[in-house]
């Protein structure tokens, strides 16, 4: 999307592992200046140092995007470091669920705060004072899930949050369409990440079985017969930031090996 010698400036939340790290690497490798965040200071420092060591223009801070003021401070820090944003990737998230009758208010609220409310808060800050769409049409990409379309057994909080992300994406895309700024959701299915390991462990505990058996059960549901990779998800995110994707907006696009059918 960058024009001439002016690089894109991207903010990626949850950028130190899994899909967020893959997105950060993919965007930065194409010349985008990427500002990332995560909740753990050591992870942010290690990720930034590693990627800078590869010649990538990356920086970041610790931030808890569940908190409105922290979200606003994160956007200000990104702009102070690299300049007005042209790309926002809302990736920060967590798993969470269980038997619905036993889900606590604390778990429900934290999953919704982490996976849905943070998307609104960071996006609001990016639009209000982050520069998205100010200099040229921007790109907002929200990492949702096929679970937000089809529902995940024993994952009611997660499914509700990701469905909310998809609805927010479509509404905001129509709001911003006249400006040329696009807003899309990328919906991974099963992706091999640290969170995927935690999910399999949780199902194994609930079903009184092994993680390997859970993995095999999940794989059999995927037409391609395998998990997607973080790099495959990052490839779609990267494409959505380019000029070739300028007419794609208000979409929820799957990266799932055929798991999702809409």
Q: How far apart are CA 196 and CA 198, in angstroms?
A: 5
Q: How far apart are CA 30 and CA 27, in angstroms?
A: 5
Q: How far apart are CA 73 and CA 75, in angstroms?
A: 5
Long-range Cβ contacts of 239-242 (<8 Å, 24+ apart): 240/139, 240/141, 240/182, 240/184, 240/186, 241/1, 241/8, 241/10, 241/27, 241/32, 241/87, 241/139, 241/141, 242/1
Report helix, strand or coil for 247.
Answer: coil
The residues, any chain, with a CB within 8 Å of residue 80's CB and separated by 6 or more, are none
Respond yes or no: is residue 158 known to be catalytic.
yes
Longest CA–CA separation in the chain, Å: 57
CB-neighbour burial class of residue 69 (10 A; exposed 0-12, middle 13-18, buried 19+)? exposed
Q: How far apart are CA 247 and CA 141, in angstroms?
A: 14
Cβ atoms 253, 149 nearer than 8 A: no
Cβ atoms 87, 144 nearer than 8 A: no
Catalytic residue among 158, 190, 203, 227: 158
Query: How do beta strands 87-90 and 58-62 pair?
Result: unpaired
Q: Which residues are catalytic?
A: 158
């Amino acid at each position: 999307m960058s024009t001439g010698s002016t690089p894109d400036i991207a903010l990626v939340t949850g950028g130190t592992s899994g899909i967020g790290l893959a997105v950060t690497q993919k965007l930065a490798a194409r010349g985008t200046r990427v500002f990332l965040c995560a909740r753990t200071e050591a992870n942010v420092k290690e990720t930034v140092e590693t990627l800078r060591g590869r010649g990538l223009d990356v920086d970041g801070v610790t931030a808890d995007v569940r908190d409105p003021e922290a979200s606003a401070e994160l956007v200000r820090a990104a702009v102070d470091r690299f300049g007005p944003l042209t790309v926002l990737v809302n990736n920060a998230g967590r798993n969470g669920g269980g038997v619905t009758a036993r889900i606590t208010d604390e778990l429900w609220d934290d999953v919704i705060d982490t996976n849905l409310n943070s998307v609104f808060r960071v996006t609001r800050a990016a639009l209000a004072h982050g520069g998205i769409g100010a200099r040229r049409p921007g790109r907002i990409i929200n990492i949702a899930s096929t679970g937000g379309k089809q529902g995940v057994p024993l994952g009611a909080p997660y499914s509700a949050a990701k469905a909310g992300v998809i609805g927010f994406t479509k509404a905001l895309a129509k709001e911003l369409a006249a400006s040329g700024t696009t807003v899309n959701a990328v919906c991974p299915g099963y992706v091999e990440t640290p969170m995927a390991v935690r999910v399999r462990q949780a199902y194994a505990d609930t079903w009184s079985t092994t993680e390997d058996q859970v993995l095999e059960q999940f794989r059999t549901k995927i037409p391609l017969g395998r998990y997607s990779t973080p790099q495959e998800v990052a490839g779609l995110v990267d494409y959505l930031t380019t000029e070739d994707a300028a007419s794609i907006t208000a979409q929820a696009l799957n990266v799932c090996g055929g798991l999702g059918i809409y």
